[in-house]
Structure 1
Amino acid sequence: MKSTLARHQRGVTAVAVLALVAAVALVASLVSARGEDTHATSMPTGPMELPGEWMTSQRLSDGVTEVSAATYASARSEAQSIERRTRNAYRHLAQLNWDFFGPANIGGRVVDIAIDPEVDDQIFIAAASGGIWKSSDAGMTYQSVWPDDWVQGMGAVAITSDGVLFAGTGEPQPGGGSITFGGDGIYRSYDRGETWENVGLEDSHAIARFAIDPSDEDRIFAAAAGNLFVPGGERGVYLTEDGGDTWREVLTPLNDTTGATEVVIDPDNPDRVYAAMWDHLREPHQRTYGGPGSSLWRSDDGGATWERMTNGLPTDDDQGRWGLTLAPSNPDRLYAYVGTALGPFRAFYRSDDGGDSWTQTPLTAAGASQSTFSWWFGKIWVDPTDEDHVFLAGVQLRRSTDGAMSFTNSGGIHVDQHKMAWDPDVPDRVYLGNDGGMYRSDANGATNTWTKATDEPYTQFYSVDAAETDPVLKVGGTQDNGCLRGYNGPGGRWDAIGCGDGLQVIIHPEDPTIVFGCSQYGSCYRSENSGDTPRQPIGAGQTTSQRRNWFTPLVFDPSDPDVMYYAGNIVNRSTDNGRTWTAISPDLTGGGPNDPAGYPWGTITAVAVAPTDGDTLYAGTDDGKLWWTDDVGENWHEVDSSELPGTWVTRIAVHPDDAKIAYATFSGFRSGSDRPHLLVTQDGGKTWSDIGQGLPDAPVNSVVPTSDGLLIVGTDVGVYLSAWNGGEWASLGSDLPVAATMYMRYHEPSRQLSVATFGRGIYEIDVPQCRAASTRLPLRDPGVGVPGVLASCRAAQ
């Protein structure tokens, strides 16, 4: 084996380099029939659809056709400028600390695992939108070894025999139409994650897998999947022969929409290398997840030349994502499967001669547990000591003991499997990463032998709410892990309280035992048992609407908790705390759906009620419309479209002391225009002004006005504070991980702000007290700000 001393010497002075890149990896997964899922319950589940369409459509609603790492690099650069200015001008704000509230016992999607060969019981994992984590107790608890202010989206992690770590950024699983931006190449660490440096492939967008040559660990292959939205870039299989210092392409894709998703080295003959290629592209009105570029390849000369494997394999264009692996105990035994271009499982194959020929096995679509989205998985694993012991990634983990002739479930785990890894030093110990986090089996993956990790703080949240009676009581909605209840304090255990994916979850303002939870597309419930059963359904059978958003608004009237609002494309009102509902609006959208193959446009995305006047409501839509009523829906008034950006309305908030002052936030990117992300009305909705100048050019997802004249916004790249009418913006604290802030909940009596991040769980901070001018004075000049307000802020007492 070639000495690795040289690369250690090269890395002695290497330090973590701050990447001015995409800060957020809003990676969507998909929701599947929950089967043996131990974290989601069956009532209600809602339609099992694709969150990626929702997230993508929000951020493309400004008319752009792609969201790239460069787009977020620009936004993150602007965010860093605000952070630097805050440190210099408002040190008291920069020094405020965010506290992690939880959960630690739920977890989130894990896409890769690397077992430390030198430290017993130590592993490293890649969380889909949460960075790189280390466990030193055989996979039970985890600590972050990735900078909080770097890109959080991950695709791969690997480790050499002497402990050099490699991390590949950007998740290659696209989630139907989801956002897979965020990757800015490959990183290397010589000290097991203490420091990192970027070592190349910055235009790869997503790294799907590494393969390290066991005979020469300076030789490492990387599978670059490419940008889901933009053809070209660094795609295919790349090789470094100097431990990561330089990379060169060794397998070029057949076309500019094809990327590599798997690379495997024969351990007995490292000159033999295999690769899987996938042809995929997401466009605004179409997703193509297969085509002529999807294929399997073999090299017999260490990657210098490649030959496509076709003997016994399909050669038509209806090939989606391939899964590919070999049996370590007999590298001539290969397994592969492929989906169709539209997503369903197509066929499973086996080779017993190193890929010279292939035979299709009896595995059917139903038996494969791939549902309609084989592209979400693309992974097969073989027991390193038994060539016939095979595991197939799917909704369920499928297990074969007869060389893939038949399969059964390896149950007792969360759904949607992404990675397995065997510990070479502990017989029968195998780790599993899926949409629910990390598991370990000490019985070689046998059914119901899995133990879930106990501390894994990388959950993807859509929303958070805190009880008005006690802000320690929190609930939230999560991707892949349902509606959750955290009534046990910071760091305490969270409990699953129904839902498929969890979206809007809210607590009754006066009684925290009354909880409402929503699955996707407005399949909601009402519980008088803190979210537990029995649950009264709210949704299509109880409310009036033809279309409902993935994140359907469900809100209380702040002045009367018995009054609630639910909105599909029509606003519904309840006066008996959600038991019965009456429609109070016409269709407030421009109609829909207008994209049958993608997101179903034409839904209400935000509703807000004035705290001081229950007759006044504001509503916003996915197609960029704003409405207001001051007579509880008897008459609705549409805001002149010339005053609006025309992009997705993400949130509306009404001033706590004045029903005529309201704020609306918008997704999308300005893309070089002056399109606003944050508007205010001073006259009850008639006219609106832009007060978002100075914020990063990134989606704004939430807004909170405080009663003492402050305004807080949560964005894809941070949380920012201003006087209530905008003007100058400052970062609120400096240690919040830069997974996107999707939702904020401000508890006025305690000044506690809770934020839901998509990949790093729930964080909270005490909002500072500031010298705020009268709310009347700034009305004359929105966007200018009140001099001295931010400079006067001090920690809340």
Structure 2
Amino acid sequence: MLALVATAALTASSIAAPAVPSLATSFPTGPMEVPDEWMTAQRMSDGSTDLSAAKYANARGEANQLVAKTRNSYRPLADRPWSFFGPANIGGRVVDIAVDPQVNDQVFIAAASGGVWKSSDAGATFTPAWPDGWGQAIGAVAMTSDGVLFAGTGEAQPGGGSITFGGDGVYRSADRGASWERVGLADSHAIARFAIDPSNESRIFAAAAGNLFVPGGERGVYLSEDGGDNWRQVLAPPNDTTGATEVVIDPSNPARMYAAMWDHRREPHQRTYGGAGSSLWRSDDGGATWQRMTTGLPTDADQGRWGLALAPSNPQRLYAYVGTAIGPFRAFYRSDNGGDTWTQTPVSSGQASQSTFSWWFGKLFVDPGNENHVFLMGVNLMRSTNGAQSFSSVGGVHADQHAMRWDPKIPGRVYLGNDGGFYRSQNNGASGWVKSTDERYTQFYTVDVAQTDPSLKVGGTQDNGCNRGYNGVGGPWNAIGCGDGLQTLIHPENPNIVFGCSQYGACYRSENAGGTPRQNIGTGQTTSQRRNWLTPLQFDPTDPNVMYYAGNIVNRSTDNGRTWTAISPDLTDGGPNDPSGYPWGTITTLAAAPTDGNTLYVGTDDGKLWWTNDLGANWHQVDPAQLPGTWVTRVAVNPKDANIAYATFSGFRSGSSRAHVKLTVDGGRTWTDIGQGLPDAPVNSVIPTADGLLLVGTDVGVYVSAWHGGEWAALGENLPKAAVMYLRYHEPSRQLTAATFGRGIYDLTVPRCPASSTKLPLKNPGVGVVGVLSSCNASK
């Protein structure tokens, strides 16, 4: 009999246990088909209505201050090196490309949450061209004929996680990415495109998409007439939720130019990705004045994101397409008179390959030498050879296309950026695509390492599946299934047994290191009505054959994931569930105590904490008044005492005393805030080590304290400021592994601290850790 008990010390009332539901056979789809809902929902669970770049800028500033403090007081902690483990061969979302006009085979790319990268070998390999310590979200890159490089920060695609990491303006580099200076548009949030006037390269246009969450700010088309030193708005949006996503200059007549506007906004439980402001515009006087193009084009409000392109070989030829306000493809258009009139072409939704999310793409590219050769960015790479009368799919590349550029120095060479990374074709894009072999900007959700050998790793990635890194540092990683890759696990005693999960808990068990055959678990195997985008799947540290899986109900396996039994009722409120937003009511994290297999702690997306010390016979809810009420990102149990546990939370404090890290020393009855002193950013992972350290991973770095918190220090150097989504600590080797969302997997050796720091019980939580960190300071 399962019981849901409100512990007397915490809440006065008892809650009757609902009946355990029947076995679930399907998973929700629709609102969370893209992970921006998951990334956004947890970071806005504090009740905020925006995820502004300013919040992250403040958090990075606090992180830099903590690094400086650590260097002064605990230098060996700050100086410990993080080292890149991999992968180099997987890649991640590339949203723009700039071809160096002077240097053969040199290109620059914008990685969605991984910075700017440079290749000097035609895209075969890439090296960073952006400071590791800056925000890593990039939306656009462009280069003048004399080699001045521009980067627009913040990604205009409202999904895939990067929407939470907006940009802070336009940056310029006079030395091809070796150094940068910010030159304006700090309140633009996302730069979608640059256009440089070929007749006067001091005239640079920027398409500012604006803050997805907050109306107003710097939106529309901006012009700098002094090489980027100063900017002024030349095309204002029709309303305060519309921004510019395209700006294109006629190379034969630079006084004529075009722009695409997109009306879009994201709210906590609503996304509006179209409206009256979505439109196409033309200027015939270099951007001084603009007219909306309407002849042959729709003028109603059911317009989503527009894609727009001009044929360089015949600038009178324009192509455009638009999605609906709710997402699917709507129609494709062509103009043969410079936009005076437009005609709809017979392109179907299937040919457009936009699925239900045309707002994810919004890009068209035309062969510079052939006005009828057109590429449409979609789930597949779509190609037309008849002037957009029809399209067919080009194979050989990863899904979800975002950018193409032709190399004017090499006939037939074209570059492509998509969610899988960077590609090159020597056959004018028609075939022969070759993927980059070294692109270290993969977006990871999770990582696990083999207990038998920490050089064996698996990880779950955004839009690049589950992957296995069993070939050592820098060695190639292998795909091991999954759609989006979420939770991944390696059996503690046998690294050939691997678990991988796609979105919503569709997991598998493999006895071939992630390879086939694979036994499905989750779908049809476990009990739950709702499952999180990242459904927790965990081993019991007291018994490697015992596992836990949680949707809105905790499931337990005693035969290493082959069969499952529910051991809890619904531990969430089950809502609200807005059809346009994130479907609340799921368990986000769980942990079993290393010293007591009967004790588990559970956290939920609606801010609840639960514990049981009788293997689920009775569940106790922590008094909500003791908690911040925000998304619980991770729970962890002390390796020496089942009564000591930690919980981390997403969201921002925003001037409040809301906690990011909480500690219990009495088995879950009372909780103390021990996160004061950390940067005000979401905390995504927490690990207590056996010798008294507490490690946390945040959106702005990794930090260390003692078990009872109090004072925090930055841990390590050279870790890029991409969000650290997951930490995995290997106790025997003291290797700490960090999964970053945009810069791959990194390792660090944690300093050894004296055994005196582990004395129990903990006294005065949140106070007096200077001695512990000082002792670590002396460790080598």
TM-score, normalised with respect to structure 2 = 0.95
Does the 8 Å contact 1:723/1:785 carry over to 2? Answer: no
Alignment deviations for residues 158-180 of structure 1 (CA, whole Å, 9 cap, x no partner): 00001000000000000289725
Match of 1:205, as an amino acid? H
Alignment deviations for residues 130-159 of structure 1 (CA, whole Å, 9 cap, x no partner): 000000001110000100000100000000
Distance in 2 of aligned mates of 1:663 and 1:786: 17
Distance in 1 of aligned mates of 2:81 and 2:29: 38
Alignment deviations for residues 490-544 of structure 1 (CA, whole Å, 9 cap, x no partner): 1000000000000000000000000000000000000000000100001130000
| Partner of residue 792, structure 1 | 775
Asked if 1:183 is matched to 2:167, the reply is yes
| Partner of residue 200, structure 1 | 184
Residue pairs, 1:345-360, within 5 angstroms:
345-360=329-344
Change (3 A) 1:690 1:452: same
Residue pairs, 1:275-424, within 5 angstroms:
275-424=259-408
Superposed displacement of residue 776, structure 1: 3.6
Unaligned residue ranges in structure 2 (runs of 5+): 1-26
SS in structure 2 at match of 1:97 = coil
Asked if 1:651 is matched to 2:634, the reply is yes
Superposed displacement of residue 406, structure 1: 1.1
Residue pairs, 1:460-475, within 5 angstroms:
460-475=443-458
The structure 2 residue matched to 1:668, chosen from 643, 651, 659, is 651
Q: Percent identity?
A: 77
Superposed displacement of residue 785, structure 1: 3.1
| Partner of residue 713, structure 2 | 730
SS in structure 1 at match of 2:350 = helix
Greater shift after overlay, 340-349 or 177-186?
Answer: 177-186
Superposed displacement of residue 787, structure 1: 3.2
SS in structure 1 at match of 2:287 = coil
CA RMSD of aligned residues (A): 1.4
Residue pairs, 1:481-500, within 5 angstroms:
481-500=464-483
The structure 2 residue matched to 1:123, chosen from 97, 104, 107, is 107
| Partner of residue 614, structure 1 | 597
| Partner of residue 69, structure 1 | 53
| Partner of residue 69, structure 2 | 85
| Partner of residue 17, structure 1 | none
Match of 2:332, as an amino acid? F
| Partner of residue 488, structure 2 | 505
Superposed displacement of residue 208, structure 1: 0.3
Distance in 1 of aligned mates of 2:389 and 2:692: 68
SS in structure 2 at match of 1:594 = coil
| Partner of residue 437, structure 2 | 454
Moved over 6 A (4+): 44-48
Does the 8 Å contact 1:124/1:133 carry over to 2? Answer: yes
Residue pairs, 1:645-794, within 5 angstroms:
645-776=628-759, 779-794=762-777
Does the 8 Å contact 1:180/1:206 carry over to 2? Answer: no
Residue pairs, 1:580-619, within 5 angstroms:
580-619=563-602
| Partner of residue 637, structure 1 | 620
Asked if 1:161 is matched to 2:128, the reply is no
Distance in 2 of aligned mates of 1:358 and 1:347: 12
Distance in 1 of aligned mates of 2:680 and 2:754: 28
Unaligned residue ranges in structure 1 (runs of 5+): 1-43
SS in structure 1 at match of 2:167 = coil
Superposed displacement of residue 597, structure 1: 1.7
Alignment deviations for residues 627-666 of structure 1 (CA, whole Å, 9 cap, x no partner): 1111111111111111111111000110011111110000
The structure 1 residue matched to 2:517, chosen from 529, 534, 549, is 534
Change (3 A) 1:734 1:224: same
The structure 2 residue matched to 1:571, chosen from 544, 554, 572, is 554
Greater shift after overlay, 46-55 or 780-789?
Answer: 46-55
Distance in 1 of aligned mates of 2:668 and 2:590: 13
SS in structure 1 at match of 2:317 = strand
Superposed displacement of residue 772, structure 1: 4.9
Residue pairs, 1:20-35, within 5 angstroms:
none
Does the 8 Å contact 2:28/2:530 carry over to 1? Answer: no
The structure 2 residue matched to 1:624, chosen from 595, 607, 628, is 607
Superposed displacement of residue 678, structure 1: 0.4
Does the 8 Å contact 1:751/1:796 carry over to 2? Answer: no
Does the 8 Å contact 1:773/1:786 carry over to 2? Answer: no
Does the 8 Å contact 1:56/1:178 carry over to 2? Answer: no
Change (3 A) 1:796 1:535: farther
Distance in 2 of aligned mates of 1:753 and 1:778: 26
SS in structure 1 at match of 2:628 = coil
Does the 8 Å contact 2:135/2:165 carry over to 1? Answer: no
Superposed displacement of residue 786, structure 1: 2.8
Does the 8 Å contact 2:41/2:582 carry over to 1? Answer: yes
Change (3 A) 1:46 1:508: farther
Change (3 A) 1:761 1:131: same
| Partner of residue 24, structure 2 | none
SS in structure 2 at match of 1:615 = strand
Match of 1:73, as an amino acid? A
Change (3 A) 1:362 1:329: same
Does the 8 Å contact 2:132/2:719 carry over to 1? Answer: yes
Greater shift after overlay, 282-291 or 253-262?
Answer: 282-291
Superposed displacement of residue 434, structure 1: 0.1
Superposed displacement of residue 734, structure 1: 2.2
Distance in 2 of aligned mates of 1:631 and 1:274: 67
What count of residue pairs does the alignment treat as equivalent?
753
